[in-house]
Amino acid sequence: MQFSNAFYHELIILLSILILLIPAIMVFKRENRWKMLLAFFIIVPVFVAYLPGKKAPSSPIEHIETDFTPAQRQAAFQQWFKEYQAGLDNFDKSWQKFNETVGGLEAEELSRSEAAAEFTGILNQAQTYHQALANLLPPPELAVTEQELISGLLEETQSVSAAQLLIIEKTINLLEDETTTQAKQAELANEIKKLALLHRPVYLDIMPKITRLKTSLKL
């Protein structure tokens, strides 16, 4: 157990008081001496029991375990965040294109084969974006606690990206399934909407972690 300097300081004070009290007790009148002894034997154990519970204050969470300057850390985070936001924009564009293609299939603006080709292109793009996200590691300039926040955020984002990939893949499989060749395009679009709802990713809220990072970096 780690104790603070204050603990040892208080212990020295206690011992000093005890040394001073012993002669004082001895000079008291006999009838009052037992009262002093009783108080002495009550107070001392309580004080001794109290001291071990006092630990040294823990270091602040924002203690920086890095050799880089604040300016270097800020610049590294800002560059990473710029690339991360670009990745999110790409995900949004892919998903928007996916929904537009579903709408085109439903309205018969696209044939079944044309829609399948569109979804295949969307899948290829989404896979590229997913891999780029996997390569977007936390900047080494940041403190350990800051890197852990970014790692957690990247894991959540990759989970959302993986769910989108799964939906696109299942959509392509549905359109290529020979058992659905007689289905109307509106029916196919409805099935795609159902599977998208079934496998939809959880809502990605990046702001809590980003806010903590900006606070830590004083941005």
Domain positions in the chain are 5-53, 70-217
Q: Give the alpha-carbon dihedral of 36, 39, 41, 47, to 10 degrees.
A: -130
- Are 167 and 181 spatial neighbours (Cβ–Cβ below 8 Å)? no
**Furthest-apart CA pair in the chain: how many Å?**
111
pLDDT tens digits, 24-66: 555 555 555 555 555 555 555 555 555 555 444 443 444 456 6
Taking 60 as the threshold, does the pLDDT of residue 118 lie above it?
yes
Min mean pLDDT across 15-24, 126-135, 151-160 is at 15-24
Q: Rounded CA gap, 126 and 29, in Å?
A: 91
Higher pLDDT, 134 or 37: 134
Q: What does the pLDDT read at residue 15?
A: 61
Q: What does the pLDDT read at residue 40?
A: 56
Q: Rounded CA gap, 84 and 137, in Å?
A: 10
Taking 90 as the threshold, does the pLDDT of residue 7 lie above it?
no
Q: Rounded CA gap, 90 and 128, in Å?
A: 10
pLDDT tens digits, 192-212: 999 999 998 888 899 999 999
The rounded mean pLDDT for the chain is 81
Q: What does the pLDDT read at residue 104?
A: 95
Q: What does the pLDDT read at residue 26?
A: 59
Quote the percentage of the chain above a pLDDT of 90. 59
Q: What does the pLDDT read at residue 63?
A: 46
Q: What does the pLDDT read at residue 1?
A: 47
Q: What does the pLDDT read at residue 180?
A: 84
Higher pLDDT, 85 or 63: 85
Taking 60 as the threshold, does the pLDDT of residue 110 lie above it?
yes
Q: Rounded CA gap, 94 and 165, in Å?
A: 10
